[in-house]
Amino acid sequence: MEALCSSSLLTRQALPLSSINFTGAGSVSVPGFSLPSLKTRAFPDCIRKHSAVGIPRASVAVEQKVKLALIRIGTRGSPLALAQAHETRDKLMASHPDLAEEGAIQIVIIKTTGDKILSQPLADIGGKGLFTKEIDEALINGEIDIAVHSMKDVPTYLPEKTILPCNLPREDVRDAFISLTASSLADLPAGSTIGTASLRRKSQILNRYPSLNVLENFRGNVQTRLKKLNEKVVQATLLALAGLKRLDMTENVTSILSLDEMLPAVAQGAIGIACRSNDDKMANYIASLNHEETRLAVACERAFLLTLDGSCRTPIAGYASRDEDGNCIFKGLVASPDGTRVLETSRKGTYAFQDMINMGKDAGQELLSRAGPGFFDS
């Protein structure tokens, strides 16, 4: 009760004692507020003395109610992850007037296992799900209302009690080549070192340019990797063009690799938004943002990945797109980790959900049979 006499409390909404009614029963009532019943002797001397002589100098601080956010968005804390969360927030605010008010949407940063452990390759610490597990747990536990993910980080299965009904419009899926000394992969001198944490990139690089070296476990966010490049730890690196665009950092791009030179990761450039399966309100909010062409393409690619049972130890690439006639064109690839063997396939069909799922599965089954046992062990 000593805090009631503290002047620091007067920075909040304060009511003079003249507006407080002391009842004979020893309780206190404040207009517009309900406070618990207190014995008169529980009040410190400063309040009882002032009330007795009618001098309204002391005040009782009354906490203002804090407006709770209507949506709490869970995300990783990297600059790219935050850019994607802010893109989601902005789209929600533009689509729903009730979310446009200040404080209606809160962004909650959650540190994942993949963010905490940077000294080891992803495959050695658990592979897929390292950048989503803790966020999914917070969603299931009700600590957040929706989760924003880079779709290429999302395992081919979703945790129980969650759904992912929304993909935002996809960014450019290609990879960017970044170097201070060369204009392209082909221009790098023999023996040059390229930094990447991706086996997909490593295998495709070594398949085309076996004279180059690849520094594995070249991990960290975009800014960290560019810093290592500037420090000449490596002579070049590859980054997703989509991330550089979302960070407004395309001035760092030396050249852009064609899809024939570097097939992208499954779902590269796509953002996914998940919610609890029993939360119809959130499902309706985020479903309104869904870009169906992207959702179908990602579903096709993930069906391919699921069939191959791909992990971080498996070099896999896949890309589904709509051609000028409105059909789906799918290209898929698996490679040995050392890049000595690369198997490719393609499919064409109608741009419809089930047909595209079937295309992805069929392409995966073909490459599995062609690869044979032990293919990924080389």
201 pLDDT more than 70: yes
Q: How far apart are alpha carbons 115 and 153 in whole angstroms?
A: 12
The residue among 19 and 197 whose pLDDT is bigger is 197
Question: Which amino acid is located at 289 in the chain?
Answer: L
Average pLDDT over residues 26-45: 38
175-256 shares the fold of 67-168+270-290: yes
Segment 314-323, tens digit of pLDDT: 899 999 999 9
Which residue in the list 115, 136, 145, 153 is annotated as catalytic? 153
Average pLDDT over residues 164-174: 98
- Which pLDDT score, from 0 to 100, does residue 127 have? 58
Q: How far apart are alpha carbons 14 and 59 in whole angstroms?
A: 6
CA nearest to 317, candidates 232, 205, 212: 205
Which CATH number does 67-168+270-290 carry? 3.40.190.10
Burial status of residue 53 (CB atoms within 10 A of its CB: 0-12, 13-18, 19 or more): exposed
CB 289 within 8 A of CB 87: no
- Name the CATH superfamily for 292-377: Porphobilinogen deaminase, C-terminal domain (3.30.160.40)
Average pLDDT over residues 195-206: 94
Task: Quote the pTM value.
Answer: 0.78
Query: How many CB atoms are located within 10 Å of the residue 2 CB?
Result: 7
Average pLDDT, the chain: 83
14 pLDDT more than 60: no
175 — pLDDT class (breaks 50, 70, 90):
very high
Average pLDDT over residues 348-361: 98
Task: DSSP letter for 201, please.
Answer: H
Q: In this predicted structure, which of 221-225, 281-285, 343-347, 354-358 has the lowest mean pLDDT?
A: 221-225
CB 332 within 8 A of CB 343: no
- Which pLDDT score, from 0 to 100, does residue 30 have? 37
**CATH class of the domain whose range is 175-256:** alpha beta
CA nearest to 149, candidates 272, 246, 247: 272
Domain boundaries, the chain: 67-168+270-290, 175-256, 292-377
Segment 232-257, tens digit of pLDDT: 999 999 999 999 999 999 999 999 99
Q: Is 153 a residue of the active site?
A: yes
Tokens of 294: 């992207």
CA nearest to 72, candidates 84, 85, 83: 85
339 — pLDDT class (breaks 50, 70, 90):
very high
21 pLDDT more than 80: no
